[in-house]
Amino acid sequence: MTTTYKTTPREDGYRMPGEHEPHAGMWMAWPERTDNWRYGGKPAQLAFVNVAKAIAEVTPLTMAVSAGQYDNARNLLPDHIRVVEITTNDSWMRDIGPSYVVNDKGERRGVDWEFNAWGGLVDGLYFPWDRDDQVAHKICEMEGDGHYRAPIILEGGSIHVDGDGTLYTTEESLLHPSRNPDLSKEEIEQVLKDYLSIDKVIWIPLGLYNDETNGHVDNLIHVVRPGEVILSWCDDKNDPQYEISQKAYEVLSNTTDARGRKLLVHKMHVPGPLFIHEDEAGGIDACEGMERSAGERLAGSYANFLITNKRIILPLLDPARDDDARALLADLFPGYEIVGVDAREILLGGGNVHCITQQVPAV
């Protein structure tokens, strides 16, 4: 039994490290939901396996799997990847797993946010979501880490931190009426400061166009290091993404971080635009919350990559743009290996590489 702390991480001297800091492990969850993943999740499972393999070469990886899919996952994954039985409602580990905090004594704890499937009964993507809401607690138990149950609804993909006092988020997601309608912007900021030990929140107006998470920040930007970010970019003035990227650039260019640094913003062109093909819309069970019909615009983004232990896992989404994304990352992350993984099947389910992973920081 691990401890559930009634204090806050800030009171106890813990902070959330940046993704670029060293990792002790990584968690993912197995896709099988038939109203989200086509053909019973079989194509998506192969994509998840490829992401898992790319991570596990540099970071120990654990895959959470339902009892019904345990044998299948164990068979498809290499032996050095740990497979554990955890029931979930779907497989977005970034949003359901714990946000980890560390102190300078080499100790680690998890922050367990309330989860309501990106909108609860207002505009959530599915019901129920109770199994997903248990995942962060279960992971902390398995890792032997104490944890805090934070008093707000929040998904891990809706925040990025630099590990040095700054948090990035979007107003579209964190201030959405389906999350914490009883709390003001200032009250939400205070919870973030208390539970992640950050000193400044940088609010970007909107997330990526047509992102069904209500515009998660991890689909729009990525933190390179303190004072430096990558922004999803679009040059086509007729594309709705153009205006969103312009507004984000304006905010990021005219602010300073928690330490007073002016931000260096790198533009990374979005793939496509990408749409669901006719053949890809088949094989999915009907569902009220998720839009999976042919012609639907996909929220494709190269910013949805993962940094782990001197390696970057980059989603490959568009042959016309993949090489540019890879080249930019190679330039911004000297000494890192850039590993591309075909990620269209993950995108068809509503997210990408960053969304399906959650790191456990090294201490």
Residues designated catalytic: 355
What Rg value do the Cα atoms of the chain yield, rounded?
19
Are the C-beta atoms of 217 and 204 separated by less than 8 Å?
Answer: yes
State the DSSP code for 8. -
Are the C-beta atoms of 163 and 17 separated by less than 8 Å?
Answer: yes
DSSP codes joined into one string, 137-200: HHHHHHHT--EEEEEEE--GGGEEE-SSSEEEEEHHHHT-TTT-TTS-HHHHHHHHHHHH--SE
Longest dimension (CA), the chain: 55
Residue owning tokens 């793939």: 271
Print the SS3 string covering 73-92: HHHHCCCCCEEEECCCCCCC
End-to-end CA distance of the chain: give it in Å, rounded: 21
DSSP codes joined into one string, 237-281: TTSHHHHHHHHHHHHHHT-B-TTSPBPEEEEEEPP---B--TTTS
Can you tell me the distance from the alpha carbon of 195 to that of 15, in angstroms, rounded to the nearest whole number?
8
Can you tell me the distance from the alpha carbon of 360 to that of 363, in angstroms, rounded to the nearest whole number?
9
Are the C-beta atoms of 148 and 14 separated by less than 8 Å?
Answer: no
